[in-house]
């Protein structure tokens, strides 16, 4: 009987640990672009009130409705309210937003039937798309996360729904660089905090969105 109680206690501890990790992870996927040719981008944003160390964060792509993974490891710090964009290096110029973006061709090469998860220390803290589903739910769209969403969708195996997202058309790049559903306006450099990949470095900016 003592052994059974111990197992239950350990299970409860494991579950609460996962839940608390999910709640504390205030970095979410805030914009998704899949457009003409190589016009593709994925944006993450820090929706919390404090700077976040991105070490341990990963963007994982499950290609073509399969379990095949491509992994991108984030590095550096992301200020509260700031965003970081990964864009396809072969996209058109408007997607190559300066100083708050990283050129990345391998993971940002989706075609509409891929799923992305954002992981923190091996735990899924957000997701977009539907796992192991070949449907082209995310083709030819620019999706921006609704402003009331501040915690990610951790259930990456459930049915895809766009309820948390606003579609703003195809090949739209003017919302990359800030959270929210509107286009971005740079208010100024807040700090020299570093956000970097293995071969690129950018500074963090503070952004606001405009109403049109």
Summarize pLDDT for 123-182 with one digit per residue, the tens: 999 999 989 888 898 999 999 999 999 999 999 999 889 999 999 999 999 999 999 999
Q: Strands 165-167, 40-46: parallel, antiparallel or unpaired by DSSP?
A: unpaired
Task: Count Cα atoms within 13 angstroms, Cβ side, for 153.
Answer: 24
Distance (Å, whole) CA 35 – CA 195: 26
Which pLDDT score is estimated for 101? 86
Percent of the chain topping pLDDT 90: 59
Q: Could you give the count of Cα atoms lying within 13 Å of 37 in the half-sphere of its Cβ?
A: 7
* pLDDT at residue 104 in the model: 86
**Which of 60, 35, 69 minimizes the C-alpha distance to 116?**
60
Give 60's strand partners: 71, 117
- Token look-up 């905090």 returns 193
Q: What is the pLDDT of residue 37?
A: 94
**Predicted structure pTM score:** 0.78
Residue 31 in 3-state DSSP? strand
Give the distance from CA 13 to its chain's centroid: 28
Residue 73's SS3 state is strand
What pLDDT, on the 0 to 100 scale, is given for residue 192? 28
Residue ranges of the chain with per-residue pLDDT less than 70:
1-25, 98-99, 186-212
Task: Say how far apart CA 153 and CA 189 lie, in whole Å.
Answer: 30
Separation between Cα atoms, residue 187 and residue 206, nearest integer Å: 6
DSSP state of 183: P
Integer Cα distance of 170 and 164 in angstroms: 18
Collapsing DSSP to helix, strand or coil, 116 comes out as strand
């Amino acid at each position: 009987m003592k052994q059974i109680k111990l197992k239950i206690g350990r299970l409860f501890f494991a579950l609460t640990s996962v839940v608390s990790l999910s709640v504390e992870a205030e970095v979410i996927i805030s914009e998704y672009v899949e457009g003409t040719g190589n016009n593709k981008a994925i944006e993450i944003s820090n929706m919390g009130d404090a700077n976040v160390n991105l070490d341990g964060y990963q963007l994982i792509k499950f290609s073509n409705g399969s379990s095949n993974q491509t992994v991108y490891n984030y590095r550096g710090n992301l200020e509260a309210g700031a965003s970081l964009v990964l864009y396809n290096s072969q996209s058109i110029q408007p997607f190559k937003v300066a100083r708050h973006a990283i050129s990345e061709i391998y993971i940002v090469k989706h075609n509409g039937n891929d799923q992305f998860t954002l992981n923190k220390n091996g735990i899924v803290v957000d997701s977009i798309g539907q796992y192991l589903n070949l449907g082209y739910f995310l083709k030819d769209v620019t999706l921006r996360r609704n402003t009331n969403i501040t915690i990610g969708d951790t259930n990456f195996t459930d049915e895809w729904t766009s309820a948390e997202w606003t579609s703003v058309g195809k090949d739209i790049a003017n919302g990359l660089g800030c959270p929210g559903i509107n286009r971005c306006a740079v208010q100024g450099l807040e700090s020299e905090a570093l956000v970097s990949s293995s071969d690129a470095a950018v500074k963090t900016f503070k952004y606001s969105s405009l109403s049109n």
